[in-house]
């Protein structure tokens, strides 16, 4: 009798626990649905203006439009196929035969929804500078001397460059604090290392992180002198160590570089997987950090006087400035 009573009490507690858990799960599910619905509402209000560019090879598309009458840019990218989902994808997908000839056949494969994601980046409100940045345009290679930088480029970027408030938000832990992989808080040689928004963090093949320096006032490669060597060396060494520790990727499989021109004017360094052809990693724009360090060791003001080349789109105002100065 006592065993039966105990059993009834235990069953009652279990039932109560299950009911409570079911209620909690239901509330969590409803919260997730609300969050997904809120996100869906934001994007469902999008009104297309035009497709800025698209790439069949890169499997991405850049779109300009409006959300609630505010200018917006949406970036759609097919995520890479992950090795750990291949078996599930092949076993759980629907196949539609397109062609069969002897041992060869092609199909349309429809994977389960959770394996068919499209990484979506929203910029809103977007400026026309954002629109032009992602628009497919004819590209020109600009040759910039040290004098050109002082008389043409610097005045232009001081008057038209993107806001870097989002950078300050990261440095001040007002945004993306949970995404930081590594931080050195030193105000002179410190930096934060975190995943670039281009990387979905689901595989190492397209690993992409960025180190943003704490020290203000360094806009780009042009501002670097020998006094910044401790900062650059610190980023180079600690960034590689952090990536090895977190992701198991050794320095021999990393590409570490700076852009010139950069997309925003607060010094930052890119860390990408060596096998990944990241946007802007070509020789006309990327400068290996190891080379930058060596150049400054040989000449403390190397980048103050060095002639640098960089690509500029046809509608970029900087290109017009170089044409007006008869430098192109």
Domain boundaries, the chain: 46-118, 138-324
Reported as a single tens digit per residue, the pLDDT across 265-323 is 999 999 999 999 888 899 999 999 999 999 999 999 999 999 999 999 888 899 999 99
pTM reported for the whole predicted model: 0.70
Please give the average per-residue pLDDT across 227-248, as a whole number.
98
Q: Which contiguous run of DSSP H or E holds residue 4?
A: helix 2-44
At residue 182, φ and ψ (nearest 5 deg) are: -155, 145
Reported as a single tens digit per residue, the pLDDT across 201-230 is 888 999 999 999 999 999 999 999 999 999
Q: Are 258 and 292 in contact (CB under 8 A)?
A: yes
Q: Which residues are identified as catalytic?
A: 268
> Residue by residue, what is the 3-state secondary structure of 10-61?
HHHHHHHHHHHHHHHHHHHHHHHHHHHHHHHHHHHCEEEEEEEEEECCCCEE
Q: Tell the CATH superfamily of the 46-118 domain.
A: Scavenger mRNA decapping enzyme, N-terminal domain (3.30.200.40)
Out of 7-16, 102-111, 210-219, 223-232, pick the least confident. 7-16
Closest CA to 59 of 256, 255, 229, 206: 206
CA dihedral 299, 301, 302, 304 (to 10 degrees): -170
How would residue 233 be classed by pLDDT, with cut points 50, 70 and 90? very high
Burial 308-320 (b: 16+ CB within 10 A, else e): bebebeeebebbe
Q: What span, in angstroms and rounded, lies between the C-alpha atoms of 14 and 18?
A: 6
According to the model, what pLDDT value does residue 307 have?
97
Closest CA to 294 of 212, 236, 213, 209: 236
Residues 6+ apart with CB under 8 A from 297: 226, 229
How would residue 41 be classed by pLDDT, with cut points 50, 70 and 90? low
Dig out the tokens for 129 from the structure: 């500078």
Collapsing DSSP to helix, strand or coil, 265 comes out as: coil
Better-predicted residue by pLDDT, 19 or 252 = 252
Collapsing DSSP to helix, strand or coil, 250 comes out as: coil
CB atoms within 10 A of CB 116: 13
How would residue 157 be classed by pLDDT, with cut points 50, 70 and 90? very high
Q: What span, in angstroms and rounded, lies between the C-alpha atoms of 112 and 285?
A: 39
DSSP bridge partners of 97:
107
The DSSP annotation for 188-228 comes to TT-EEEEE-TT--SS-STT-EEEEEES--S--SGGG--GGG
Residues 6+ apart with CB under 8 A from 60: 54, 75, 76, 77, 78
Class of 138-324 in CATH = alpha beta
Out of 13-22, 97-106, 303-312, pick the least confident. 13-22
How would residue 189 be classed by pLDDT, with cut points 50, 70 and 90? very high
């Amino acid at each position: 009798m006592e065993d039966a009573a105990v059993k009834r009490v235990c069953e009652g507690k279990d039932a109560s626990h299950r009911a409570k858990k079911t209620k909690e799960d239901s509330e969590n599910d409803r919260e997730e649905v609300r969050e997904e619905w809120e996100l869906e509402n934001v994007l469902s209000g999008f009104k297309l203006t035009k497709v800025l560019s698209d790439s069949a090879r890169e499997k991405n598309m850049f779109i300009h439009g409006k959300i609630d009458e505010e200018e917006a840019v949406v970036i759609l990218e097919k995520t890479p196929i992950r090795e750990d989902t291949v078996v599930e994808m092949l076993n759980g997908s629907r196949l539609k035969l397109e062609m069969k000839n002897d041992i060869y056949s092609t199909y349309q494969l429809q994977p389960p929804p959770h394996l068919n994601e499209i990484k979506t980046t929203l910029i809103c409100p977007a400026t026309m500078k954002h629109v032009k940045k992602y628009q497919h345009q004819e590209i020109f290679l600009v040759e910039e001397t040290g004098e050109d930088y002082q008389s043409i480029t610097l005045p232009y970027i001081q008057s038209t460059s993107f806001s870097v408030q989002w950078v300050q938000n990261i440095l001040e832990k007002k945004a993306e604090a949970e995404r930081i992989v590594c931080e050195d808080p030193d105000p002179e040689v410190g930096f934060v290392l975190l995943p670039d928004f281009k990387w979905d963090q689901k595989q190492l093949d397209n690993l992409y992180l960025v180190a943003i320096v704490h020290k203000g006032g360094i806009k780009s490669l042009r501002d670097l002198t020998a006094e910044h060597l401790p900062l650059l060396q610190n980023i180079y060494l600690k960034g590689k160590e952090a990536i090895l520790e977190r992701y198991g990727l050794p320095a021999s499989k990393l590409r570490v570089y700076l852009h010139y021109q950069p997309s925003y004017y607060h010094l930052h360094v890119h860390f990408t997987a060596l096998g990944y052809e990241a946007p802007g990693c070509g020789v006309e724009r990327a400068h290996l950090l190891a080379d930058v360090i060596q150049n400054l060791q040989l000449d403390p003001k190397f980048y103050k006087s060095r002639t640098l080349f960089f690509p500029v789109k046809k509608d970029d105002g900087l290109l017009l400035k170089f044409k007006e100065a008869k430098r192109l």
